[in-house]
């Protein structure tokens, strides 16, 4: 992300460097020119005994030229100096925002640490990362993204003391150095101030842009003795701020380090997991509540980790999403699920729809449609037997472009479901406009329907809404007979949950397809 904004900076730096070299060469030329001239004059004077008027005139002329050349050389020397100063500024500042860059921040931080050490004082480093900046950059263009970064930079500078340093690390990351703090609480106040300063909308190109920021804080000497460690720990704390809901701040805690290390080792393992064929799919049946038959299955990925055993998505999917590895993993899941569904049909089992979870990154990748087609072709699975599950946030975040992809998928014959319905925010008009086949009521509501009247009301409302939108409604996370009975009474079409069957391996599912699920259905 940072490359996009820093490339012009690099070009500018290169041009300034070339200019300075050019000027220096020019100054040397001029100086050498005047030296040659002087040598010529002296030789001329030596060669003759008496000097004629002509020769004196010539000498005067040469002298005058020498003076001009010297002045030129001086001017050029000044220009060289200015160019050097520009070069120095460019080397230490970010071109887009003119804030100190990583190099200057490191210098200042090292000095501040030395000073704090001598005086026995504390200092703070704040690592800031804008929330969902990439989304703005992608949807409104880099020009708007750049101006938003400039506006953020101005607000940050306006919100700190003169002695503080606000630097841009690249992309949408800023690092602040607060060299003079008495208590950690002061830093918390500064962080709150920053959050508030950035909360006001940024008006850019008639857009009112709202952008949050996640802040991680590390304190010298407790959280690190050197610049690198302090920045690293502030970065880790920032990551935790992001994970716990964004637009807030977190102080570094030592056990965050252990978790960061674990995350890194999971990420490194994920990189190798595909080629080592460590992923497996489990399948969970979806049951028609009235007939009790299996009407579909959901493919759920598992990772057979060589040391840690079978890992569930909660332990690796978000890491795969953050690192982009979800793209190749998602492609594998899609292909494998289609191949398996087709294999069951070829084996003579009743044809059923297989649902595949699709994360935001996959859905927005330009070639998503291609991969869906490729998986269908490779498996020879009819498109109507494939369903894609997308969450509300994936659908609503960029509704206009989602709409065209969804219609292209629907035209293919692929089915579409809204996963975890009720946990996000949905626009009713989009829900009507999108070619959605199924609403999956999130398990957190289903869980409570027999205990919490509010959840019961909500589930009933979703069921009737689905009916009026002509969408199938399926309840996730059905665990008890009472829940199944309630859903049936509310005319919910389908249910999925441990009450009917846990997710199982492909072989076990083939048996379920033959025998049906076992719970005594409440009717
Ligand atoms: P989801 O799509 O909402 O899947 C349902 C999750 O609920 C599954 O967890 C399933 O095992 C669990 N579940 C099913 N019935 C019950 C029940 O009765 N009670 C309870 N407490 N839980 C139940 P799982 O397999 O751990 O997957 C979690 C999430 O990970 C999924 O939520 C989905 O968002 C994501 N995920 C799973 N596989 C993939 C995948 O291949 N690609 C992507 N992008 N995400 C995946
Ligand atoms: Mg799902
Ligand atoms: Mg779900």
Residue 11 lies in a domain: yes
Residues 239 and 288 in one domain: no
Q: Is 479 in the pocket of ligand 1 (CB under 6 A)?
A: yes
259-264: Cβ within 8 A, 24+ apart? 260/236, 263/319
Residue 520 lies in a domain: no
Tell which atom from ligand 1 comes closest to the C-alpha of 359. 44
Q: Is 284 in the pocket of ligand 1 (CB under 6 A)?
A: yes
What residues contact 103, with CB distance under 8 A and at least 6 apart? 91, 92
Ligand 1 probe mutation, 476, 501, 502, 505, most atoms within 8 A of CB: 476
Tell which atom from ligand 1 comes closest to the C-alpha of 498. 18
Q: Domain residues for 34?
A: 7-92
Instruction: Give the strands of the sheet with 165-170, arranged side by side.
Output: 165-170, 173-181, 122-130, 213-220, 249-251
Q: How far is the CA of 337 from the centre of ligand 2 (A)?
A: 13
Closest ligand to C-alpha of residue 496 is: 1
Q: What is the CATH number of the domain that holds 429?
A: 3.20.20.450
Q: How far is the CA of 330 from the centre of ligand 1 (A)?
A: 14
Distance CA 150, CA 444 (A): 42
Residues 58 and 171 in one domain: no
CA torsion, ordered 200, 203, 207, 211, to nearest 10 deg: -40
Residue 2 lies in a domain: no
Residue 441 lies in a domain: yes
Q: How far is the CA of 298 from the centre of ligand 2 (A)?
A: 7
Which residue has its alpha carbon closest to ligand 1 atom 10?
A: 503
Residue 389 lies in a domain: yes
Extract the tokens encoding 402: 């989602």
- Identify the pLDDT of residue 287: 97
Residues 296 and 331 in one domain: yes
Distance CA 331, CA 444 (A): 29
- Identify the pLDDT of residue 90: 85
Which residue has its alpha carbon closest to ligand 1 atom 19?
A: 477
395-398: Cβ within 8 A, 24+ apart? 395/426, 395/430, 395/434, 396/424, 396/425, 396/426, 396/427, 396/430, 397/135, 397/360, 398/135, 398/139, 398/364
pLDDT (tens digit per residue) in 325-336: 999 999 999 999
Of 42, 73, 92, which closes a domain?
Answer: 92
Residue 521 lies in a domain: no
Is the bond leading into 221 cis (omega within 30 degrees of zero)? yes
Residue 1 lies in a domain: no
- Identify the pLDDT of residue 39: 55
The DSSP 8-state label assigned to residue 93 in this structure reads B
Count of structural domains, the chain: 3
pLDDT digit string (tens) for the chain, length 523 residues: 333 334 444 565 566 567 656 666 765 665 565 555 555 655 655 565 556 778 778 878 878 888 887 788 788 878 778 778 888 888 899 999 999 999 999 999 999 999 999 999 999 999 999 988 888 887 788 899 999 999 999 999 999 999 999 999 989 999 999 998 988 888 999 999 999 999 899 999 888 888 999 999 999 999 999 999 999 999 999 999 988 878 899 999 999 888 888 888 999 999 999 999 999 999 999 999 999 999 999 999 999 999 999 999 999 998 999 889 999 999 999 999 999 999 999 999 999 999 999 999 999 998 999 999 999 999 999 999 999 999 988 888 778 889 999 999 999 999 999 999 988 778 888 888 999 999 999 999 999 999 999 999 999 999 999 999 999 999 999 999 999 999 999 999 999 999 999 999 999 999 999 998 877 544 4
Q: Is 420 in the pocket of ligand 1 (CB under 6 A)?
A: yes
Q: How far is the CA of 300 from the centre of ligand 1 (A)?
A: 6
168 within 8 A of 96, measured Cβ to Cβ:
yes
Residues 271 and 246 in one domain: no
Q: Is 312 in the pocket of ligand 1 (CB under 6 A)?
A: yes
Tell which atom from ligand 1 comes closest to the C-alpha of 479. 18
Of 92, 118, 145, which closes a domain?
Answer: 92
Taking each helix axis as running N to C, give the angle between helix 227-243 and helix 102-119, from 0 to 180 degrees, rounded to the nearest 10: 110
Residues 239 and 274 in one domain: no
Residues 231 and 319 in one domain: no
Tell which atom from ligand 1 comes closest to the C-alpha of 300. 38
Which residue has its alpha carbon closest to ligand 1 atom 45?
A: 357
Residues 48 and 177 in one domain: no
Of 74, 92, 110, which closes a domain?
Answer: 92
Residues 225 and 140 in one domain: yes
Would you tell me how many other CB atoms lie within 10 Å of the CB of residue 97? Answer: 22
Ligand 1 probe mutation, 357, 495, 517, most atoms within 8 A of CB: 357
Residue 21 lies in a domain: yes
Tell which atom from ligand 1 comes closest to the C-alpha of 330. 42
Q: Is 317 in the pocket of ligand 1 (CB under 6 A)?
A: yes
Tell which atom from ligand 1 comes closest to the C-alpha of 391. 34
Distance CA 319, CA 260 (A): 11
Residues 167 and 315 in one domain: no
**DSSP string spanning 194-245?**
HHHHHHSPEEETTEEE---EEEEEEEETTT-SSHHHHHHHHHHHHHHHHHTT
Angle at 477 between CA 476 and CA 479, to 5 degrees: 135
- Identify the pLDDT of residue 187: 93
Distance CA 171, CA 173 (A): 6
438 within 8 A of 461, measured Cβ to Cβ:
no
Residues 275 and 419 in one domain: yes
Residues 367 and 507 in one domain: yes
Extract the tokens encoding 214: 């996640």
Ligand 1 probe mutation, 284, 287, 313, most atoms within 8 A of CB: 313
Residues 84 and 157 in one domain: no
In sign, the C-alpha dihedral spanning 76, 77, 82, 85 is: positive
Closest ligand to C-alpha of residue 421 is: 3
HSE, side-chain direction, 13 A CA sphere, residue 395: 28
- Identify the pLDDT of residue 523: 43
């Amino acid at each position: 992300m940072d490359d996009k904004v820093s490339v012009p900076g690099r070009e500018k730096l290169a041009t300034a460097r070339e200019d300075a070299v050019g000027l220096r060469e020019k100054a040397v030329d001029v100086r050498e020119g005047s030296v040659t001239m002087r040598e010529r004059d002296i030789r001329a004077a030596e060669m003759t005994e008496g000097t004629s008027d002509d020769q004196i005139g010539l000498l005067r002329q040469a002298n005058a030229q020498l003076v001009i050349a010297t002045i030129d050389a001086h001017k050029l020397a000044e220009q060289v100096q200015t160019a050097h100063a520009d070069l120095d500024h460019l080397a230490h500042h970010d071109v887009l925002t003119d804030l100190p860059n990583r190099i200057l921040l490191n210098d200042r931080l090292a000095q501040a640490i030395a000073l704090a050490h001598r005086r026995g004082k504390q200092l703070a480093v704040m690592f800031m990362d804008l929330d969902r900046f990439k989304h703005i950059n992608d949807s409104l263009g880099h020009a708007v993204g750049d101006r938003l970064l400039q506006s953020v930079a101005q607000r940050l500078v306006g919100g700190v003391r003169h002695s503080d340093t606000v630097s841009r690390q690249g992309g949408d990351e800023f690092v602040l150095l607060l060299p003079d703090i008495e208590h950690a609480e002061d830093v918390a106040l500064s962080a709150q101030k920053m959050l508030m300063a950035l909360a006001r909308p940024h008006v850019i190109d008639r857009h009112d842009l709202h952008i949050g920021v996640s802040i991680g804080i590390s304190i010298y000497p407790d959280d690190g003795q050197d610049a690198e460690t302090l920045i690293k720990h502030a970065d880790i704390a920032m990551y935790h701020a992001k994970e716990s809901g964004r637009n807030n701040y977190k102080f570094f805690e030592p056990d965050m380090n252990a978790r960061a290390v674990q995350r890194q080792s999971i990420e490194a393992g994920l990189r190798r997991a595909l080629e080592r064929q460590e992923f497996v799919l489990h399948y969970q049946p979806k049951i028609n509540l009235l007939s009790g038959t299996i009407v579909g299955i959901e493919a759920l990925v598992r990772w057979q980790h060589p040391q840690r055993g079978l890992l569930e998505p909660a332990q690796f999917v978000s890491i795969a999403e953050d690192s982009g590895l979800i793209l190749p993993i998602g492609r594998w899941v899609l292909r494998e699920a289609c191949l398996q569904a087709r294999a069951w049909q070829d084996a003579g089992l009743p044809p059923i729809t297989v649902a595949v979870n699709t994360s935001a990154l996959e859905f927005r990748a330009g070639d998503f449609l291609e991969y869906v087609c490729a998986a269908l072709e490779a498996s020879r699975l009819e498109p109507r037997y494939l369903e894609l599950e997308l969450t509300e946030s994936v659908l609503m975040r960029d509704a206009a472009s989602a709409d065209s992809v969804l219609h292209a998928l629907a035209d293919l014959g692929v089915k579409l479901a809204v996963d975890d319905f009720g946990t996000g925010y949905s626009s009713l008009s989009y829900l009507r406009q999108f070619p959605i086949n199924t609403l999956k009521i999130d398990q957190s509501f289903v869980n409570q329907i027999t205990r919490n009247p509010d959840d019961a009301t909500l589930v009933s409302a979703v069921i009737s809404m689905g009916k009026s939108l002509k969408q199938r409604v399926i309840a996730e996370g059905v665990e008890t007979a009472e829940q199944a009975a309630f859903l049936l009474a509310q005319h919910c079409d389908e249910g999925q949950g441990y009450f009917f069957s846990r997710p199982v391996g492909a072989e076990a599912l083939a048996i379920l397809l033959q025998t049906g699920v076992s719970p005594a259905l409440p009717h």
